[in-house]
């Protein structure tokens, strides 16, 4: 061991530190917090890439594991916009002044998926009936019938909670009712992989399920129907509440997403890879998916003012 | 078992063909961890030397607190730094949340206790005669410090390498502060976590092998040093 090596090591570290430039955000950087489905399917990254090439900007997606964490990042002003799917919390976010307005982008449906053998026998039932049966059989034989929940306050988890409620249960009662109910605390893809490993049922959004289908032995039992609707919404952060957020670029990106180009890209995405679209464009289906006309307006009505 | 073999094969393929994504992630990991350990060394070695060389009230408690913080959980540091760097947090105006600079800050905090602690231990082994001799030759405090550090340079380098290893292999700070942004803050550990969750096991394994190889290399160097 010589002093020489230490010197060289220090030199190397100095070079590393000098090369190292802190990348503070600037006007041409857009930060987005989103849900796992839009990220894990690759859709948002593709849209972001198209946008950044067209406008010569940088788009970063630091939060991409669920609506719950995306909203909390938004409330702290850590990002410039959200793309999420949980109407109740979206409305509250805007009402509390954190966001400008809801803009409806895309939709698809939630699926109730489970092992091919269908151990609870829920094929052909509506979702609330199916959940009831899964709970009943799971409590009797938790080795055979299980349900894996996101358990992470994501949009899908919110949906699951409201479905349990429609089925006539109190969620806290479900969450503590035994081994059949597995609270994964994970993003959608990881939850599906866990459900697959454990031969369990799960609630999934259509797009993530399609993207993971080839890795899973799970099949959908309940798909579609108005009670399984899943609407994705973009919200730019309100610069009055969060000075310094890049509102202009956020609004620009949202307008890009609702433009002809953006909507067509969303509607076509996945056809090549999965043989069917995995998202549907909001354009033209505004009232079907429960959005107000102004939430589908092109371009945006809200403006950025500090 | 077959999955593991085919995964390993693909993993080696990704490494040998220098897959740009794998190379990018590895380079970023090295460079963020090296920056962290460099900054931490600048702060921690002098602080450690100062604590070691001076007598003050509560010194033993301070040292035992530092030892306790060796096992500081990475997610706790992640959470703390996230709150501090959030736009509405005390250092929000720096706007370094979700940047490599933020990750470096978190990692510096994470490895500081180990590096200060090991500096104190290493310097404690220097014979007092060295200091006395230096003093009698008219050395200033700084000169004495440098002389004693030189005496135990291999132990000091070992502490730097240990800090580097911890910064490189941690996932809590990297995930919570970096945000795992592709091409910007995605490092080996966060990429492994993401790719595994997405079911892309080959890429995960390739990155895991690289991480393990780097750790092994660091360990070999450290063993050589300690073997003297």
More confident residue, A256 or A18: A256
At A22 the pLDDT is 45
* Residues A136, A80 within the same domain: no
Q: Which pLDDT band holds residue A82 (cuts at 50, 70, 90)?
A: very high
| Interface residue ranges in chain B relative to chain A, Cβ cutoff 8 Å | 30-32, 34-35, 37-39, 41, 86-89, 92, 94-101, 104, 150, 153-154, 156-157, 160, 178-182, 184-185, 197-199, 224-225, 228
* Residues A235, A138 within the same domain: no
With beta carbons under 8 A apart, name residues in chain A contacting B31: 16, 19-20
Q: Which pLDDT band holds residue A25 (cuts at 50, 70, 90)?
A: low
Residue of B34, B179, B228 lying closest to A16 (CB–CB): B34
* Residues A209, A61 within the same domain: no
Question: Could you tell me the CATH number of the domain that includes residue A243?
Answer: 3.40.190.10
- Cα(B59)–Cα(B65) distance, integer angstroms: 10
Side-chain-facing half-sphere of A162: CA atoms under 13 Å: 15
Best residue of B31, B36, B38 to probe chain A, by most A CBs closer than 10 Å? B38
The pTM of the full predicted model, rounded to 2 decimals, is 0.83
CB–CB contact A17 B182 (8 Å): no
Q: What percent of chain B has a predicted confidence (pLDDT) above 90?
A: 66
* Residues A47, A77 within the same domain: yes
At B4 the pLDDT is 83
CB–CB contact B87 A63 (8 Å): no
Q: What is the mean pLDDT of residues B125-136?
A: 88
* Residues A101, A235 within the same domain: yes
- In Å, what is the CA distance from A242 to each residue of A77, A97, B66, B106? 6, 9, 38, 24
B137 to chain A, closest Cα gap in Å: 23
Choose the final residue of a domain: A182, A211, A228: A228
With beta carbons under 8 A apart, name residues in chain B contacting A13: 34-35, 37-38, 41
Q: What is the mean pLDDT of residues A9-36?
A: 68
With beta carbons under 8 A apart, name residues in chain A contacting B3: none
Does A87 reside within a domain?
Answer: yes
Pairing of strands A103-115, A81-84: unpaired
Tell the residue number behind the tokens 């964490």, with chain if given: A69
A-B contacts (CB, under 8 Å): 98
Superfamily per CATH, domain B22-127+154-227: MetI-like (1.10.3720.10)
**Full residue range of the structural domain in which residue A168 is found:** 109-228
At A8 the pLDDT is 62
Q: Which residue of B has its CA nearest to A213?
A: B199
Q: Considering its fold, how many domains does chain A have in total? A: 2
Choose the final residue of a domain: A184, A203, A228: A228
- Sequence ranges of the domains in chain B: 22-127+154-227
Does A2 reside within a domain?
Answer: no
At A89 the pLDDT is 95
**Nearest CA among A205, A37, A230, A221 for reference residue A145:** A221
* Residues A126, A194 within the same domain: yes
Q: What is the largest CA-CA distance in chain B?
A: 69
Does A45 reside within a domain?
Answer: yes
Tell whether the model's pLDDT for residue A1 goes beyond 50: no
* Residues A198, A154 within the same domain: yes
* Residues A122, A211 within the same domain: yes
Query: Would you tell me how many other CB atoms lie within 10 Å of the CB of residue B228?
Result: 7
Does A283 reside within a domain?
Answer: yes
Burial A142-167 (b: 16+ CB within 10 A, else e): beebbbbbbbbbbbbbbbbbebbeeb
Tell whether the model's pLDDT for residue A21 goes beyond 60: no
Does A33 reside within a domain?
Answer: yes
Q: Which residue of B has its CA nearest to A215?
A: B199
* Residues A116, A216 within the same domain: yes
CB–CB contact A23 B157 (8 Å): no
* Residues A223, A176 within the same domain: yes
Mean pLDDT, chain B, as a whole number? 92
* Residues A103, A250 within the same domain: yes
Tell whether the model's pLDDT for residue A10 goes beyond 60: no
- Cα(B130)–Cα(B145) distance, integer angstroms: 11
At B63 the pLDDT is 96
At A23 the pLDDT is 46
Angle value at C-alpha B158, between B152 and B162, nearest 5 degrees? 150
Convert the pLDDT of each residue in A131-184 to its tens digit. 999 999 999 999 999 999 998 889 999 999 999 999 999 999 998 888 999 998
Residue of A13, A40, A62 lying closest to B34 (CB–CB): A13
Tell whether the model's pLDDT for residue A14 goes beyond 60: no
Convert the pLDDT of each residue in A58-69 to its tens digit. 999 999 988 999
Mean pLDDT, chain A, as a whole number? 90
Residue of B88, B198, B228 lying closest to A40 (CB–CB): B198
Burial A108-127 (b: 16+ CB within 10 A, else e): bbbbbbbbeeebbebeebeb
Rounded to the nearest 5 percent, the helix, strand and coil shares of chain A are 45, 20, 35
Least confident of A19-23, A63-67, A187-191, A241-245: A19-23
Least confident of A22-26, B129-133, B203-207, B220-224: A22-26
Number of H helices, E strands in chain A: 13, 10
Choose the final residue of a domain: A209, A228, A247: A228
* Residues A64, A135 within the same domain: no
Q: What is the mean pLDDT of residues B208-213?
A: 94
With beta carbons under 8 A apart, name residues in chain B contacting A40: 198
CB–CB contact B97 A78 (8 Å): yes
At A293 the pLDDT is 86
CB–CB contact A60 B184 (8 Å): yes
Q: Do residues A178 and A185 make contact, with C-beta atoms less than 8 angstroms apart? A: no
Convert the pLDDT of each residue in B31-83 to its tens digit. 999 999 999 999 999 999 999 988 999 999 999 999 999 999 999 999 999 99
With beta carbons under 8 A apart, name residues in chain B contacting A60: 98, 179, 181, 184
- Cα(A276)–Cα(A151) distance, integer angstroms: 29
Does A16 reside within a domain?
Answer: no
Q: Do residues A57 and A29 make contact, with C-beta atoms less than 8 angstroms apart? A: yes
Q: What is the mean pLDDT of residues A105-111?
A: 96
Convert the pLDDT of each residue in A190-237 to its tens digit. 899 999 989 999 999 999 999 999 989 999 999 878 899 999 999 999
Query: Would you tell me how many other CB atoms lie within 10 Å of the CB of residue B126?
Result: 18
CB–CB contact B94 A212 (8 Å): no
């Amino acid at each position: 061991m010589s002093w020489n090596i230490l010197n060289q090591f220090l030199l190397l570290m100095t070079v590393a530190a000098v090369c190292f430039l802190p990348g503070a955000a600037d006007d041409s950087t857009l930060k987005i917090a989103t849900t796992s489905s839009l990220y894990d399917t690759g859709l948002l990254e593709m849209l972001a890439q198209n946008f950044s090439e067209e406008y010569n900007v940088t788009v970063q997606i630091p939060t991409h594991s669920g609506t719950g964490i995306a909203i909390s990042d938004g409330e702290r002003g850590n990002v410039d916009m959200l793309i999420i799917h949980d109407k109740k919390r979206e409305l509250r976010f805007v009402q509390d002044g954190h966001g400008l307005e809801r803009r409806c982008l895309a939709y698809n449906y939630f699926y109730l998926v489970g092992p091919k053998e269908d151990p609870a026998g829920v094929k052909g039932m509506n979702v609330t009936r199916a959940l009831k049966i899964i709970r009943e059989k799971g409590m009797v034989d938790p080795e055979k019938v299980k349900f894996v929940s996101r358990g992470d306050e994501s949009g899908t988890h919110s949906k699951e909670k409201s479905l349990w409620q429609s089925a006539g249960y109190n969620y806290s009662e479900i969450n503590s009712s035994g081994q059949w109910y597995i609270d994964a605390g994970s993003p959608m893809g990881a939850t599906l992989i866990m459900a697959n490993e454990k031969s369990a049922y799960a609630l999934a959004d259509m797009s993530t399920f399609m993207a993971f289908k080839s890795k899973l032995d799970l099949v959908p039992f309940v798909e579609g129907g108005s009670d399984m609707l899943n609407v994705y919404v973009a919200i730019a952060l309100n610069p009055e509440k969060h000075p310094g957020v890049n509102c202009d670029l956020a609004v620009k990106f949202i307008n890009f997403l609702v433009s002809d180009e953006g909507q067509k890209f969303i509607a076509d995405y996945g056809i090549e890879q999965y043989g069917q679209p995995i998202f549907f464009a909001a354009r033209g289906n505004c009232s079907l998916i429960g959005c107000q006309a102004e939430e589908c307006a092109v371009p945006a009505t809200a403006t950025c003012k500090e | 078992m077959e999955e593991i073999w085919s995964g390993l094969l693909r993993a080696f393929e990704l490494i040998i063909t220098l897959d740009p994504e794998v190379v990018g992630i590895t380079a970023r990991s090295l460079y963020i961890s090296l920056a962290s350990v460099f900054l931490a060394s600048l702060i921690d070695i002098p602080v450690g030397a100062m604590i070691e060389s001076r007598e003050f009230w509560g010194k033993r408690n301070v040292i035992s607190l530092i030892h306790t913080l060796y096992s500081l959980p990475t997610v706790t540091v992640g959470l703390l730094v996230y709150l501090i760097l959030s736009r509405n947090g005390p250092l929000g105006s720096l706007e370094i949340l979700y940047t490599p600079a933020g990750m470096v800050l978190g990692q510096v905090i994470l490895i500081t206790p180990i590096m200060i602690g090991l500096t104190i231990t290493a310097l404690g082994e220097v014979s007092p005669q060295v200091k006395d001799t230096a003093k009698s030759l008219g050395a200033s405090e700084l000169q004495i410090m440098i002389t004693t550090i030189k005496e135990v340079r291999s132990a000091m380098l070992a502490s730097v390498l240990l800090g580097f290893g911890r910064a490189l292999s941690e996932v809590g700070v990297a995930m919570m502060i970096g945000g795992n942004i592709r091409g910007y803050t995605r490092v080996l550990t966060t990429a492994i976590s993401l790719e595994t969750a997405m079911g892309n096991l080959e890429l995960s394994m390739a990155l895991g092998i690289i991480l393990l190889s780097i750790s092994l290399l660091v360990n070999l160097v450290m063993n050589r040093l300690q073997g003297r």
